[in-house]
Structure 1
Amino acid sequence: MMQDIDPVKKKHSVAVHYMRLLFDYLQRKNYPVSQFLAEINLAPDLFDRPNDRVDFQTFNQACHLLQDKFKQPNLGITLGQLVTTGHLGPHGFALMTCANAREVMQQNIHYSALTIDAGSNIFERHGKEYIRYWKSNLSGDQPLGKLQDELHQASYVTLSRQLFNRQDLSPLWVSFQHE
């Protein structure tokens, strides 16, 4: 018998393959991944199981630890510029099948929770423009925070450039709830 999950008590999570984005950053900083995993109390063998997930709060705290450790106030943007479809696992494979921007938007709506379910993509069309929102799924409308918001917005731009082999692609404007 399946239990109903109270949405207020739902734990949000991140796919272990997405954590590899942090490892790539650490390698660029010549900082041992094993040391970092010890600092955040995660066993290295967790990353040998590609279908496992990490609690979102653990992922978020790991991001903030990196931000503090390397004194990089805009770490979310930096991480977003490093992201590849490989960091997204099955979600990334779905994006690689897209022929145009509309399909990328649709695949992001359907599959982004495979990577991270603490937020979701929402797209609105206004004339010829599409507006992308990264919306928190945390209970009580709790915000994801500056670092996560910047990470996901920068990731979307980076992935769009990669998928369409167009480094000149840029949003017309970007807006955040923070400065």
Structure 2
Amino acid sequence: MPDHIRVLPATAMGLTGSVPGAYVRLLFDYLARQGADAAVILGEAPPPPEATPSSYPALRWAGMLAAAARQLHDPALGLHVGASITPAHLGPLGYVLLASQSVLAALQRYLRYQRLVHDVSPVRTYAAEDRLILEWSDESRHIGLLANQCGLAALVQFARDITDSDVDPVAIHFVEPAPADVAPYAELFRCPVLFGQKATRVCFPASLLELPLRRADPALVAMLERQVEASLAAMPGPDHLLQTVRRCISSHLLDGESMLDQVAQELHVSGRTLRRWLHARGWSFRNLLEDTRRRLAEHYLRDTQLSLPEVALLLGYSEQSAFNRAFLNWSGETPRRWRLAARQAV
């Protein structure tokens, strides 16, 4: 293998925990082909093509896949959804990769724009013996097997598509334990698939880099790459997932202390999954709940038209005294004194 591709650069992105809206559209399309009512199964309307969000929280995406897998009784649903991807599903980025001059150029662009493809964990690419290896960071284990199925299946299918070949990986590694039925994995990947590994990996033969692309077009790449750069710049920041959970918490504050299940249900995941995702980001649900309440309390206290009992009620406290104690613990002041100081500072 030439020296200039011995080690390819890792992406510089940070974990934001999101997937492109195109993946959600892909899932809706797949369910429609199965004769299933995706809107009922997923609990939401399909994203219109002209208004598809640039990304969906990965937690929500994992929940959608889980809901669909339960309905279709298909534990390998992620594989089937991912394998149905085409360059068109990724919009301008898909055509930029397809029109690159070589597999190496397409791979380098994939690394550069990975946040637009699968913004859950950083990926590094390196060579080992006669293999080209794409390896995801430890964060990949937090999104779940279905989402990892979809991501790896989509990558392999995309490689086959842009090279117009039946290229097969040398090996596939999943961090999750082996499922009861591994036949769908063997059928799709046509290579050894190992489970319980230290990292999520796709190992391609090094000869992949020598394959020509079926539609190289440097002029098209130059034109579309500007759109791809704009899409990347519009991606949400690193706290996107936490902000989504905060918004759900805010809408359920009147449900009381046992709101975790309601928030998890709104995100289409189990309470256990929600706890695990928050723990991976240094939060417990209770701590995030209290921090969200604190932020909202300061916002409400600046509104002088709201009485203190009304603020307490909006934050989900049955008594103002409970709110007073909580706010004193957060700020070292009573709500009344904090409001007075905030008013004087204006």
CA shift, 1:91, in A, is 2.7
Q: Which one of 18, 21, 26 corresponds to residue 26 of structure 2? A: 21
Contact 1:134 1:149 survives alignment (8 Å): no
Q: Which one of 28, 53, 56 corresponds to residue 54 of structure 1? A: 56
- Flag the 1:76–1:108 CA change in 2: closer, same or farther, 3 A: same
Match of 1:89 in 2: 91
Contact 2:18 2:57 survives alignment (8 Å): yes
SS at match of 2:125: strand
- Flag the 1:90–1:122 CA change in 2: closer, same or farther, 3 A: farther
Q: Does 1:30 align with 2:28?
A: no
Q: Which one of 106, 109, 130 corresponds to residue 107 of structure 1? A: 109
Match of 1:147 in 2: 146
TM-score normalised per structure 2: 0.43
- Partners of 1:70 and 1:22 in 2: CA distance: 12
1:6-34 per-position Cα deviation (integer Å, ceiling 9, x unaligned): x7xx7522222221110121111111233
- Partners of 1:108 and 1:44 in 2: CA distance: 27
Q: Which one of 119, 124, 135 corresponds to residue 133 of structure 1? A: 135
SS at match of 2:100: coil
Match of 2:118 in 1: 116
- Percent identical pairs in the alignment equals 24
- Partners of 2:118 and 2:172 in 1: CA distance: 21
- Flag the 1:48–1:34 CA change in 2: closer, same or farther, 3 A: farther
Q: Which one of 170, 173, 177 corresponds to residue 171 of structure 2? A: 173
1:85-117 per-position Cα deviation (integer Å, ceiling 9, x unaligned): 222233312211223322222111111202331
- Partners of 1:46 and 1:12 in 2: CA distance: 22
Report the count of equivalent residues. Answer: 164
Match of 1:161 in 2: 160
SS at match of 2:133: strand
- Partners of 1:143 and 1:13 in 2: CA distance: 12
Contact 2:58 2:143 survives alignment (8 Å): no
Higher relative contact order (CA 8 A, sep 6+): 1
Q: Does 1:77 align with 2:79?
A: yes
| Deviating more after overlay: 108-117 vs 88-97 | 88-97
Structure of higher CA gyration radius: 2
Contact 1:76 1:147 survives alignment (8 Å): yes
- Partners of 1:161 and 1:116 in 2: CA distance: 18
CA shift, 1:44, in A, is 4.3
SS at match of 2:173: coil
Counterpart amino acid of residue 145 in structure 1: G
TM-score normalised per structure 1: 0.79
SS at match of 1:119: coil
> Which has the larger share of helix?
2
Which blocks of at least 5 consecutive residues in structure 2 are unaligned? 1-13, 179-346
Which blocks of at least 5 consecutive residues in structure 1 are unaligned? 1-6
- Partners of 2:174 and 2:150 in 1: CA distance: 12
SS at match of 1:150: helix
